[in-house]
Structure 1
Amino acid sequence: MAPQTATSQLLDNCLTDAEFPELPDFTRGKVRDAYKLPDRRRLLIATDRQSAFDQVLAAVPYKGQVLTQTARYWFDHTSDICPNHVISYPDPNVVLCKDLDMVPIEIVVRAYLTGSTNTSAWTMYERGERVIYGHPFPDGMKKNQKLAETIITPTTKPTGGGHDAPITEAEILETQLVTHEQWRELAEKSLALFARGQELAAKQGLILVDTKYEFGIDENGTITIADEIHTPDSSRYWRADSYEQKFAAGEEPDSLDKEFLRLWIAGQCDPYNDPIPEIPADTLIAFSNKYVALFEQLTGLDFERPDPAVPVRDRIRAALVSELPEYFQAGN
């Protein structure tokens, strides 16, 4: 048998399954595996599964760790704006958090006209729409152009594997998905969180282009941010020093986010109608490197790569045994 290459070792040690039968009420999302614990607690484990165009496509080395630690940085730096769901971090991939009553919409905040999915502002603009998510857009705009002002473009949350669907503020209030007061607070907090994100990203030479927030309501009725915040899965980041030149040339910005993979896929097929081809190993490694580079540039911290000889799943299990021993005791 041929010896493993460094690439194959990395790909083989990705975390694709975080289901532990000892823990209760397991649910699986595209990226995170979750458990509902007593006393309004949840356990979220970020895997290395990679989704795009509402499909799970591959596994990306270090991805779950990058997402968890990037979100941790932002939760720590925005807690004065909005409370978050975090209780503790038992492992670099794991968050023990509050179990919230989730708000049934996702709040997407945009500062640029861009994107490649069916719900992105650029895709809608390119097909001729000039009122997008209730906001008027002038003719003559170009892809990746900065908007005159930051806007909120909410979507409904998919259920049963469905797709995100655009919705306007008026429709949210008309259908009473949230109250008027809740919507006002959600909008204010989202814009404030985004402004903080733009400010701190700019100091590190990055542009926070757009992002998605998910909120819930805690046991005291407080609106609380959940899931993740300003990660490369939920946000776009561009390198600030090359943006103007790339935009003037009609080229895609230098990005450090999920758009890299979306554009690769869109270059191979129509992801909404064609089978998506297998993603080559070198593309997955390049993608992983972008996520790690974003974490380091954004936070100013060194990314601590785990020991490749220790399976990620084994490390996480050991952390859970230590954090939640009552579930792993003999006989349970």
Structure 2
Amino acid sequence: YSNGGVPSALISLALRYMHTTVEMVIRGYLSGHADREYKLGKRLICGVSMPEGMKENDKFPTPILTPTTKAATGLHDEDISRETILNQGVVSEKDYLKLEEYTKALFKKGTELAKKRGLILVDTKYEFGKTTDGNIVLIDEIHTPDSSRYFYADTYQDLQDKNLPQKQLSKEFVRQWLIANGFQGLEGQTIPEMNDAKILEISNRYIELYEQITGLKFEKGETNNILQRMDKNVKYYLSKR
């Protein structure tokens, strides 16, 4: 193998940290979940006020923080306010202030990087953990379609002025496909089956985002005997540790 010391391109080496139980969502635009809440007439999300007179995909005057609880496997994350987090002791005030500080700094940096690539970082989610000595650290992926939404900067204002949907790179199109096919993750609902064409479409959208945000060409790897190769590479890697 040759992946900068990683056993396989499909494997990440990780350290185990204690999760903070709060996921930090930050939104620069009225999109996705925030927009769905807004259309229901709500003007408060996670204890944060949203201005009147906005329409879908409008930019907020300043980015807003809308934290969620980290749900157990199979359950949905739930919106939670800063006040509730502190009053219920979900995390300490000291830790929460650090989470806010890191979230704003990461979003600012992500916005700057996206701008250089002709993209707008619309919203994203960060997850944090704690080391054994109590330090807050960033965990999980960052700024991928799993956690983030992007618009194309060159078409944003024109589409917004014409009340047209934004051209975006995110997993929102997958969510909308699921909703259109009767699945919203509610109890009793069955996940609809995706055909090969839909799976290929999703794969191509992820590749498009990778190339757009990194400026690199995505090189597809071999698809034969993937599990066997991963197993072999991991065993070889561990034997050298």
Cα distance in 2, alignment partners of residues 89 and 173 from structure 1: 39
Q: Are 2:14 and 1:97 equivalent residues in the alignment? A: yes
Give the CA deviation at 1:149: 0.5
The superposition leaves residues 48-105 of structure 1 with CA deviations (integer Å, 9 ceiling, x where unpaired) of xxxxxxxxxxxxxxxxxxxxx9xxxxxxxxxxxxxxxxxx632212111211111011
> What residue number does 2:59 align with?
146
Helix, strand or coil: the match of 2:13?
A: strand
Give the CA deviation at 1:125: 1.1
Q: Are 2:225 and 1:311 equivalent residues in the alignment? A: yes
Give the CA deviation at 1:324: 1.5
Q: Are 2:48 and 1:131 equivalent residues in the alignment? A: no
Give the CA deviation at 1:251: 2.3
The superposition leaves residues 130-149 of structure 1 with CA deviations (integer Å, 9 ceiling, x where unpaired) of 11111112222111111110
Helix, strand or coil: the match of 1:198?
A: helix
Q: Are 2:236 and 1:322 equivalent residues in the alignment? A: yes
Cα distance in 2, alignment partners of residues 200 and 216 from structure 1: 24
Cα distance in 2, alignment partners of residues 209 and 113 from structure 1: 8
Cα distance in 2, alignment partners of residues 161 and 167 from structure 1: 19
Helix, strand or coil: the match of 2:137?
A: strand
CA contact 2:183–2:192 (8 Å) conserved in 1: no
Cα distance in 1, alignment partners of residues 227 and 12 from structure 2: 15
Which structure: greater strand fraction?
A: 1
Helix, strand or coil: the match of 1:98?
A: coil
CA contact 1:98–1:218 (8 Å) conserved in 2: no
The superposition leaves residues 152-197 of structure 1 with CA deviations (integer Å, 9 ceiling, x where unpaired) of 1000011142211100000000011111111111100011001100
TM-score with structure 2 setting the length: 0.91
Q: Which runs of 5+ in 1 are unaligned?
A: 1-68, 70-87, 328-332
> What residue number does 2:77 align with?
164
Helix, strand or coil: the match of 2:7?
A: strand
Cα 1:157–1:196 shift into 2, 3 Å: same
Q: Are 2:205 and 1:290 equivalent residues in the alignment? A: yes
Cα distance in 2, alignment partners of residues 263 and 160 from structure 1: 22
Give the CA deviation at 1:311: 2.5
CA contact 1:104–1:157 (8 Å) conserved in 2: yes
CA contact 1:103–1:216 (8 Å) conserved in 2: yes
Cα distance in 1, alignment partners of residues 165 and 7 from structure 2: 38
**Amino acid of the structure 1 residue aligned with 2:227:** R
**Amino acid of the structure 2 residue aligned with 1:322:** Y
> What residue number does 1:185 align with?
98
Cα distance in 1, alignment partners of residues 63 and 17 from structure 2: 28
**Amino acid of the structure 2 residue aligned with 1:211:** T
Q: Which runs of 5+ in 2 are unaligned?
A: none
What is the total number of aligned residue pairs between the two structures? Answer: 237
> What residue number does 1:6 align with?
none
Cα distance in 1, alignment partners of residues 75 and 106 from structure 2: 28
Cα distance in 2, alignment partners of residues 322 and 186 from structure 1: 38
Helix, strand or coil: the match of 2:160?
A: helix
Cα distance in 2, alignment partners of residues 91 and 252 from structure 1: 38
Identity %: 39
Give the CA deviation at 1:326: 8.3
Cα distance in 2, alignment partners of residues 248 and 93 from structure 1: 42
Cα distance in 2, alignment partners of residues 312 and 237 from structure 1: 31
Cα distance in 2, alignment partners of residues 313 and 276 from structure 1: 25
Q: Are 2:175 and 1:262 equivalent residues in the alignment? A: yes
- The alignment's C-alpha RMSD in Å is 2.0
CA contact 2:26–2:63 (8 Å) conserved in 1: yes
TM-score with structure 1 setting the length: 0.67
Q: Are 2:28 and 1:111 equivalent residues in the alignment? A: yes
